[in-house]
Amino acid sequence: MSFVFDYDTNLSDVEVHFLGLLANANEDVLRLRLARGFEIAKLPETKGNALLADLERVSIDVIEADMNIRSLSWGGGFFAVTNTFDGGVTTAAEENEGIVLDADYNDAARVSLYLEPAVQCLRLATCKDIRLAFEYYYTLDHGHVHLKRKAQNPHIRGFRPGFSLGKEQLILWERLMKEDTLLFKHDFLKLAFRYFESSFETVNREQAFLSLIIALEIMLETKGVSLAHSVANLLSTTNQEEQQITTEIAQLYRRRNQIVHEGVFHFKGERSFSPDFGEGVILTARDFVKRVILKAVDLDMDKRHFLLYVRGASPSQ
């Protein structure tokens, strides 16, 4: 699938276009079916460079040399989310207190109320750092691009391979995006998810790891029961799986204690000087947080009843 920008169309100045460039995405994101007028496509590198040069008011040579932008190009193109907003409502809602942030009324609200949660769901489904790196709002008038507003994510990182969006992840993404929003009714899940998200917002591996352990503790910490046993009770289906999860969570918690009490992330004998050290540990912790969140979403209980369920008590008590 490729996206072609029609520079020959004479559009009214109120017809605002949206272009969002995804970081750490690959061909699999083309399988997503977005709503609210958003489309996702692979933008050929030559056309993408030309449009970005127009938007940035610089030469194509400058775009081609920009490492932040270069890191977003994968396989000869950019993965872009686009929308042509057909309303006459300004995108700069924050500049006018009289404009309501409603996705059916305000163009910019469609990004914050639908698109951003859609990308968050994608991160939860894949445990990968897929994000909107650049956001542009612009108009086209007789082939000329007029930039209305630009936003840049401060946490752009280069492409990290290994991302896969299979059938299971697609089904999960669609389920989480029910009614155009993240499907978290309960406060403890919303808070845990914020810590899950914060693990992507830092380049500090210790901070990312601790954010994930805190997310598990928010959901499952209870007096008299270890975190390892709580996670195992919730997720395991066999005795062997229970033992394995208990061991893995205990190891993660041991590492947490080592950071908090000794200021050291690595265990003795680990090759901590490697730039990739800790990535596997963080991915393991992130996967456990994801699984617990999804189980809690399925059960749809407040925290008290959720913990009773985890401990084996009847949720009706």
> Hey, is 50 helix, strand or coil?
helix
The alpha-carbon radius of gyration of the chain (Å, integer) is 22
CA distance 154 to 145: 25
Look at the pTM and tell me if it is higher than 0.85: no
Do the Cβ atoms of 252 and 281 come closer than 8 Å?
Answer: yes
Domain spans of the chain? Answer: 16-152, 184-310
Q: Per-residue pLDDT for the chain (317 aa), expressed as one digit of tens each?
A: 233 344 333 334 446 678 888 888 888 888 888 888 899 988 888 888 888 888 888 888 988 888 777 777 777 788 899 888 765 444 444 444 444 445 455 566 778 778 888 888 888 988 888 888 888 877 766 666 677 667 776 555 544 544 566 777 888 888 777 755 566 889 999 999 999 999 988 878 889 999 999 999 999 987 778 999 999 999 998 999 999 999 999 999 998 988 888 887 775 556 555 555 678 888 899 999 999 999 998 898 999 999 999 988 434 44
CA distance 209 to 272: 15
Beta bridge partners of 225: 222
Exposure letters 109-130 (e unless 16+ CB within 10 A, then b): bbbebbbbbbbbbbbbbbbbbb
> Hey, is 191 helix, strand or coil?
helix
